[in-house]
Structure 1
Amino acid sequence: MSEKIVLIDGHSILNRAFYGVPNLSNSEGIHTNAVYGFLNILFKILEEEHPQYLTVAFDLNVPTFRHNRYAEYKGTRKPMPGELAEQVPLMKEVLKAMGVTIVTKEGYEADDILGTLAAKCETGGMEVTIVSGDRDLLQLATDHTMIRIPKTRFGQTTIEDYHAGDVVAKYQLLPYQIIELKALMGDASDNIPGIPGVGEKTATKILLEYQNIENAHEHVEDIRPNKAKNSLKEHYDMAKLSKELATICTDCPIDFDIESARMTNFYTPEAYEIFRRLDFKNLLTRFDEETAVSEKPLETEIIRNKDKLGKIIQSACDHGTVGISLIIQEKLWGIGISFGREEVYYAPVGDLLEEEYLKEKLDLLFSKCDIVSVLDLKEALKFTRAAKQKNVFDAQIAAYLINPLKAKYTYDDIAKEFAGEMLATVEDLFGKSKLPKLGTVSMDILAAYAGNMAYSVYCSRDPLEKMLKDLNMYELYTRIEIPLAFTLYDMEQAGMRVDAQSLKEYGDKLKLRIDELEQSIYQQAGEKFNINSPKQLGVVLFEKLQLPGGRKTKTGYSTAADILEKMAPSAPIVNDILEYRQMTKLKSTYADGLAGYIGADDRIHSTFNQTITATGRISSTEPNLQNIPIRMELGKMIRKVFIPKDGCLFIDADYSQIELRVLASLSADENLIEAYREEKDIHRMTASKVFHVPFGEVTPLQRRNAKAVNFGIVYGISSFGLSQDLNISRKEASQYIEDYFKNYPKIKEFLDEKVKTAKEDGYVTTKFGRRRPIPELKSSNFMQRSFGERVAMNAPIQGTAADIIKIAMIRVNERLKNEGYKSKLLLQVHDELLIEAPETEVKDVSALLKEEMTGAADLAVALEVDMHTGKDWYDAH
């Protein structure tokens, strides 16, 4: 039986995979979809072909003999998207790690290399399979050389196979006539001209009768139709050139030792390491256990008695630097400790090691060690009060600052990216990406989990700290983010008191209104139907009631809010539907949703996250207290159920136009700065300038429109976006923006400069050094690039504002504690802080709050704060 070689057209398959597999990237932000798709196609081919040899050919980014012959060859091709271009060297690196032979040749294309190798191997008695997405290669098909053309859609690959007979069956032509076909009809993708007016159908007809262009030209007077005859007569030289360009070279001068292409074991330690780095987790199952462990696995010793644990704690304190992991699931299950690769321990809560004893040992570590590294400082603070800002290191916060675009920061990713350590992942240990119920897990696996996490934060601390310093973010980390973790912990512990009875009454009031709206909608529709079903609603509105503005999709009429809002002024039923949606959301999300979070202390203890948003803003979850409605009156009424404890008031302090003030300061625009210094109404002044009317004659509508322009500029709004917001023409909106920039020229310069530097550097920074990477600016997609430009304009402003509010929170919280106040900081919502203060402290704490908030940053314009007090959150806002 003959041996077989598989030859792969590298760029072609990589290109097919790139467009066929959804966008993927690894934990470092490197695009990987093309490489992942290529490997899946490769493995599928090899499993089907069972070859003994394998070679991949790549094009080089230099002119070939075809370019020398015809300068416009491939001249119409768009440049390769950046996301694909970055994967070409990566693909070669992966193949090299797998031991796969790669062949390139200057002056020739991959097609020529494949053609040459196929001819050599077939002559040597081998079976040949060529894998490419390029149908030009069909000219190489023989009884012993098969062309396989993969198609990948939505991650699924199908393959068309062609021996010589299959080419005839599909195209009616012999393989060599594929060249003749291109000579006549040309090839738009390669910019091969062909001859004018001849398409595939006419070209095929000519070749079936005359075999090739030379014979056709000899019988040119017999060719029909006349258009094709005249074209071949007048452009025969172009047909000959096209034939030359379309012909794959089968004897290009390459040195190739067939034995170098013999397949060996792909699953090498080098390949395993690169697959791990690229996060190809499901491909790692192909490696045997011996290969998968590229270095000695981490061993965690389980400590079960107090004497041994005491000695380890002492050793950790003597060492000075230690990594700690807390295993928490509803309670503390144990702690992991590491101060070296050979010093990894797990102390479980049990009969011999009580929870309180472990907490005492944690306090000892935090008080005696020079540095204690953790993965989530705020969580650790629940079990120790000995942690101090100066001696804790949070690997999660550090990794977040370095790359704030990631969805999560796992211990294994951090160890891999910053310390080059390949540690067992949650999936490796538990067989799933989420923790199971820990009561069902063996002690050995739990120990391994705790040990890997503790070692990860230990070994990654130095490289993380170095990178923070290299990126000029170490001060941001130590002066804002670490103190903030302590502040957020205090806020979570304080919680917000809720009047459960008032919340129920609020829900009842909503239910009453929902019932009224339901009856009104049914009456106007003339029937009962499911208002929450877009399909049924679409039929009622656009078929039964014949309302204008219906837009049909594959699944029925669209009933999205933007469509309904345009219809609302002329259709009372639509107004009711929009209000119904608002009421039902209020009831399910807030009236019903919040009730489940009220604790035994009558308070809701939300979780505040500082490693979620790319801009640096804090988010709130379980429940989200930052998303309490404020736009509609009934929505705002939910704030009435949040009340301070007896004898206390709420103090609500809100920064006034902080982002516009930041913009004025960062842009150094004299006109905007002067307006703030003179304490003018900014929106009225902008209206006066943009609409060319005296300051005292600005109408309320003009002021509202100017306000939209002011805040729109902060967010990099387009003329289209502004036209939608103000319900004006795009031309008018464009003029508004143009006039705005004429009056505030430094703002335009500032925003343009931010986009320019972001394109050069790949990121923007806030006033305090926080980085926001913007990979979208390198995207081949216009919408993505436009989004990136808006981010480049907005992130320095919004991020600086977020940093300022964090500084204010930290200072307010620390002063309240240090100066012995009973008042507590409870909540931060964007630019607003909420404090619960005993009535006797309200005056002093209000002054403290104003002092720290206005003094949080040194800007070119003063920070202003609006402050109110009240018996509930509604009255205080």
Structure 2
Amino acid sequence: MNKLVLIDGNSIANRAFYALPLLSNHKGIHTNAILGFTMMVNNVITNEQPDHILVAFDAGKTTFRHKTYKEYKGGRQKTPPELSEQFPFIRELLDAYDIPRYELADYEADDIIGTLTNRAEKEDFEIVIITGDRDLTQLVSEKTTVYITKKGIADMEKNTPKTLQEKYGLHPHQIIDMKGLMGDLSDNIPGIPGVGEKTALKLLHQFGGTVESVLEHSDEISGKKLKEKVEENKESAILSKKLATIHTDSPIEVNLKDTKYNGYQEEKVIPFLKEMEFKQMLRNFEDSEQITNKAKLEATDFEILTEIKAEHFAKETALYIELENDNYHTANFVGIAIHSEKGSFFFSKETALKSSDFKKWLEDEKQTKLVYDAKKIIVSTNRLGIKGQGITFDIMLASYLLNPSESIDDFYSVATRHQFENIESDEAVYGKGAKRKIPSEDIVAEHLVRKAFAIAKLTEPLITELENNKQLELMEELELPLSFVLAQMEIYGVKVDTLRLEEMKDELLSRLTNLEISIHALAGKEFNINSPKQLGSVLFEDLKLPVIKKTKTGYSTAADVLESLSGQHEIIDEILTHRQLGKLQSTYIEGLLKVTDKNTKKVHTRFNQTLTQTGRLSSVDPNLQNIPIRLPEGRKIREVFVPSEPNWKIFSADYSQVELRVLAYISQDKDLIYAFQHDYDIHTKTAMDVFHVGENDVDALMRRQAKAVNFGIVYGISDYGLSQNLGITRKEAKAFIDRYFVSYPAVKEYMEEIVRSTKEKGYVETILHRRRYIPEITSRNFNIRSFAERTAMNTPIQGSAADIIKKAMILMKERLEKENLQARLLLQVHDELIFEAPEQEIELLQKIVPDVMENAVTLSVPLKVDSAFGNTWYDAK
């Protein structure tokens, strides 16, 4: 007997969507309904093994039933955009599996299923229907079984004539009679008001089993209210039965032979699963080389070298270097692996150091190297006295560019993200935490060779993805060359005046002690200022300050709570200052002393190139990006950063209002562009436009408010956010923002267009095609969606500013080499570049640094750079 499986497409997609959390792939496509549907398809194919199969879909919002009853399905909520956007991909899924699908204008999926079921029963088929809708149980027979999804899409309730009899005491064809009496809220079928399932069944069992027979005997119904309801709604009951009846003779153009199923072909399914990033499902196809890019690497497939020769290297070779920990400025080498057409090889650091051929190969620009983390390779091999060159591709940077929202945890996370599965995590090989240890050489060798092999195999598909995204140039001309610049900056390091740092430590400790005395005096008693419980007791019980927020353990004394209390008691500002200075002391004073090299007196911060979603750099060990400068003590920390050579200076160059200039360029607002082209003070100009006053009438308050709006607009500020920044009402803040958009209408148009575009595409781009995927922009949650919209507005601005300074860093390195200068680029902090240079080069730097930075990219607005120099970083501001 042939088996036909019929699937109610809309119903199953809807169930899958609400059963699974809102998921998305790196392109921003929501995938939870697609994933659930795919899981169901796989289960059906495995468990049912159908000879014939078809998925039926609703063709539109209206059907022939609407001609009978306009309000049919009228109570349904609008399909969430996160679900509706997945239907085209569900259709792609079915095409990939070679599963027939069908829809018919004016008819529902139920009618298609009912008609095919009717035909299949006549041909003596076994029929299985899968749905989330109980209406289809009216089709149950000895040949037809209906499975209803219960929780999610995996747990299904089996419906047969026997189960329906046990549950309702009805035959399948009586389901429409039950619906006629009780109606159906989900389809807006009215039924008889006040009659639920229990009452409907009672009436059917008592009066002949059909709606018509119940209505004929309405005068015999006990209970005055129920009797009146039935008699008053006879037409509604007849209509409801008609609406609930599935057509089993619909004019469909598909027949049983069209539903024949011969199975699927992996080469069609696999690309779809990869695009959706269904990693667990891809693992089910582990034997397929198309998915995993696996090579069956056995111990015999690589060689452990004790002597390295030129013959081991090809013109293009994948190189992987393993270090014991992330801090590669002090780390030890675990081993080195290479893979090319010449084979796979592993060797130790000692073997590498003995080989002049290895050094010659690594320093040869013409010998192509494919790597993971180019910066780490260059910095770590520099410790061996080798200058790494010829790196042409970095799979870590490529993965970051393709989706910066996915964190780059380690090699394993990158490799598996891009479907290279034939690899183990470092934890699996080395252990974790205190149990971490280096295993035998043969185990390490195989682990590293697999990594080198992964680099080789992933390079081509990653290049293709970058090309498809128009990001290959961003990789080859910005991020990869930048990694070389950052490597050199990390190798140089920055000199620290440790004597001045020790002095600051003593000064801060003295200041903290005085603050403690003052706080205790204001409190009227001594207590532990760093204890939230004791501090809460003092503030809200002893001093009777208003309670802003409570936690499970008592009063909240978080920073935002204290800031909201500022001005209500002088103790608050003292406590806030104490906290800020305490953080300075522990994080920056003591932190810098810990990481300063005792011999060279330098710190070698590590720049993280793959952390932020906007493309901005960050730094660690120490973090020099976030030195707090609101307090004088914080700004003075920059005094400890000094030139590493006698008679040298620190030179600083800072982009002026680069994000606002980018906003002017992206929005093409004529007034903003005019202001920058004519070198206006942009905050004064904004105040003039918003307040409708002349330049001489702009006072300090007006300029401050205009500045808050200017920078707030870049970050998609709300009226609430602006009101908090300026200490004004939300109404005043909204009026201010509205006036701003009247003055700069193209900015408003840009904000609206970028949100619309992001909802459509799922991502935003910078001027150099850096992408950020923002799937949350279609969220049903207002707060999540609002945050995503603000992110969409500001990412192209922040990201483009990051691209500009990165480009400037690359060009600056080339210019310094061209001018044959000794000056060195030491740090990048937000929009600022910091150099050290001989005093005699400062005059030339004052010319060439602004020249390079201001011409890093060509915009319709000029970029402007301010520069300064001094004996310390602090003096150069």
TM-score in same-fold range (> 0.5): yes
Quick one: which of 222, 238, 241 aligns to 1:240?
238
Q: Which amino acid aligns with 2:662?
A: V
Cα deviation 1:231-278 (Å, max 9, x = unaligned): 54444323222223334568989866999899x9x9979878866665
SS of the equivalent of 1:323 reads: strand
Q: Which amino acid aligns with 1:808?
A: A
Distance in 2 between residues matched to 1:633 and 1:461, nearest whole Å: 49
Distance in 2 between residues matched to 1:190 and 1:456, nearest whole Å: 53
> 8 Å contact 1:612–1:618 — kept in the other structure?
yes
Superposition pairs of residues 371-386 of structure 1, within 5 angstroms: 371-382=368-379, 383=381
TM-score of the pair, normalised by structure 2: 0.80
State the match for 2:560 in structure 1. 562
Compute the displacement of 1:660 (Å): 1.7
Residue 729 of structure 2 is aligned to residue 729 of structure 1: yes
Q: 1:426 to 1:251 in 2, by over 3 A?
A: farther
Q: Which amino acid aligns with 1:871?
A: N
Most deviating of 529-538 and 623-632: 529-538
Q: Which amino acid aligns with 2:853?
A: M
Residue 327 of structure 2 is aligned to residue 328 of structure 1: no
Superposition pairs of residues 815-826 of structure 1, within 5 angstroms: 815-826=815-826
State the match for 1:582 in structure 2. 580
Superposition pairs of residues 54-133 of structure 1, within 5 angstroms: 58-63=55-60, 66=65, 69-70=68-69, 72-85=71-84, 87-88=86-87, 106=104, 133=132
Distance in 2 between residues matched to 1:193 and 1:168, nearest whole Å: 25
Distance in 2 between residues matched to 1:645 and 1:225, nearest whole Å: 99
Q: Which amino acid aligns with 2:631?
A: M
SS of the equivalent of 1:836 reads: strand
Compute the displacement of 1:93 (Å): 6.6
Q: 1:53 to 1:312 in 2, by over 3 A?
A: same
Distance in 2 between residues matched to 1:766 and 1:285, nearest whole Å: 35
Superposition pairs of residues 376-775 of structure 1, within 5 angstroms: 376-382=373-379, 383=381, 387-388=388-389, 392-408=392-408, 422-427=420-425, 430=428, 440-462=438-460, 464-465=462-463, 468=466, 471-500=469-498, 502-503=500-501, 506-507=504-505, 510=508, 547-548=545-546, 550-551=548-549, 560-572=558-570, 574-600=572-598, 601-645=600-644, 647=646, 648-755=648-755, 757-758=757-758, 763-775=763-775
> 8 Å contact 1:507–1:587 — kept in the other structure?
yes
Q: 1:445 to 1:178 in 2, by over 3 A?
A: farther
Identity %: 42
State the match for 2:838 in structure 1. 838
SS of the equivalent of 1:869 reads: strand
Compute the displacement of 1:651 (Å): 2.0
Distance in 2 between residues matched to 1:288 and 1:683, nearest whole Å: 60
Q: 1:181 to 1:856 in 2, by over 3 A?
A: same
Q: Which amino acid aligns with 1:331?
A: N
Q: Which amino acid aligns with 1:596?
A: K
Q: Which amino acid aligns with 1:711?
A: F
Residue 340 of structure 2 is aligned to residue 354 of structure 1: no
Residue 194 of structure 2 is aligned to residue 193 of structure 1: no
Aligned length: 856
Q: Which amino acid aligns with 1:364?
A: W
SS of the equivalent of 1:649 reads: strand
Q: Which amino acid aligns with 1:729?
A: T
Most deviating of 776-785 and 563-572: 776-785
Q: 1:537 to 1:741 in 2, by over 3 A?
A: same
Compute the displacement of 1:477 (Å): 3.6
Distance in 1 between residues matched to 2:3 and 2:757, nearest whole Å: 53
State the match for 1:800 in structure 2. 800
Compute the displacement of 1:524 (Å): 7.1
> 8 Å contact 1:376–1:396 — kept in the other structure?
yes
State the match for 2:15 in structure 1. 16
Q: Which amino acid aligns with 1:620?
A: S
Q: 1:849 to 1:733 in 2, by over 3 A?
A: same
SS of the equivalent of 2:875 reads: helix
Q: Which amino acid aligns with 2:814?
A: E
Compute the displacement of 1:495 (Å): 1.7
Q: Which amino acid aligns with 2:395?
A: A
Residue 137 of structure 2 is aligned to residue 151 of structure 1: no
Most deviating of 627-636 and 292-301: 292-301
State the match for 1:367 in structure 2. 364
Compute the displacement of 1:706 (Å): 0.5
Compute the displacement of 1:704 (Å): 0.8
Distance in 2 between residues matched to 1:151 and 1:519, nearest whole Å: 62
**What RMSD, in angstroms, separates the aligned Cα atoms of the two structures?**
5.1
Superposition pairs of residues 32-51 of structure 1, within 5 angstroms: 32-37=31-36
Distance in 2 between residues matched to 1:169 and 1:547, nearest whole Å: 67
Distance in 2 between residues matched to 1:516 and 1:133, nearest whole Å: 70
SS of the equivalent of 1:612 reads: coil
> 8 Å contact 1:626–1:830 — kept in the other structure?
yes
Compute the displacement of 1:134 (Å): 4.1
Cα deviation 1:464-488 (Å, max 9, x = unaligned): 5555556544444443333212211
Distance in 1 between residues matched to 2:531 and 2:234, nearest whole Å: 64
State the match for 1:217 in structure 2. 215
Q: 1:644 to 1:195 in 2, by over 3 A?
A: farther
Compute the displacement of 1:756 (Å): 5.1
Q: Which amino acid aligns with 1:598?
A: T
State the match for 1:303 in structure 2. 303
> 8 Å contact 2:805–2:853 — kept in the other structure?
yes
State the match for 2:327 in structure 1. none
> 8 Å contact 1:309–1:347 — kept in the other structure?
no
* Structure 1: stretches of 5+ with no match in the other structure: none
Compute the displacement of 1:832 (Å): 0.9
Q: 1:561 to 1:409 in 2, by over 3 A?
A: closer
Distance in 1 between residues matched to 2:130 and 2:506, nearest whole Å: 67
> 8 Å contact 1:427–1:434 — kept in the other structure?
no
* Structure 2: stretches of 5+ with no match in the other structure: 325-330
Cα deviation 1:502-552 (Å, max 9, x = unaligned): 445545555566666667777877898887676887677667866445455
> 8 Å contact 1:411–1:457 — kept in the other structure?
no
SS of the equivalent of 2:663 reads: helix
Most deviating of 114-123 and 628-637: 114-123
Distance in 2 between residues matched to 1:5 and 1:670, nearest whole Å: 65
State the match for 2:328 in structure 1. none
Distance in 2 between residues matched to 1:436 and 1:277, nearest whole Å: 39
Distance in 1 between residues matched to 2:556 and 2:204, nearest whole Å: 52
Distance in 2 between residues matched to 1:295 and 1:685, nearest whole Å: 58
SS of the equivalent of 2:866 reads: strand
> 8 Å contact 2:302–2:446 — kept in the other structure?
no
Q: 1:68 to 1:435 in 2, by over 3 A?
A: farther
Distance in 1 between residues matched to 2:593 and 2:559, nearest whole Å: 28
State the match for 1:876 in structure 2. 876
Compute the displacement of 1:747 (Å): 3.3
Q: Which amino acid aligns with 2:588?
A: Y
Q: 1:292 to 1:787 in 2, by over 3 A?
A: same
Residue 340 of structure 2 is aligned to residue 339 of structure 1: yes
> 8 Å contact 2:38–2:93 — kept in the other structure?
no
Most deviating of 669-678 and 612-621: 669-678
Q: Which amino acid aligns with 1:809?
A: M
Compute the displacement of 1:491 (Å): 1.1
SS of the equivalent of 1:807 reads: helix
Distance in 2 between residues matched to 1:94 and 1:427, nearest whole Å: 31
Distance in 2 between residues matched to 1:103 and 1:468, nearest whole Å: 34
Compute the displacement of 1:11 (Å): 4.4
Q: 1:90 to 1:558 in 2, by over 3 A?
A: farther
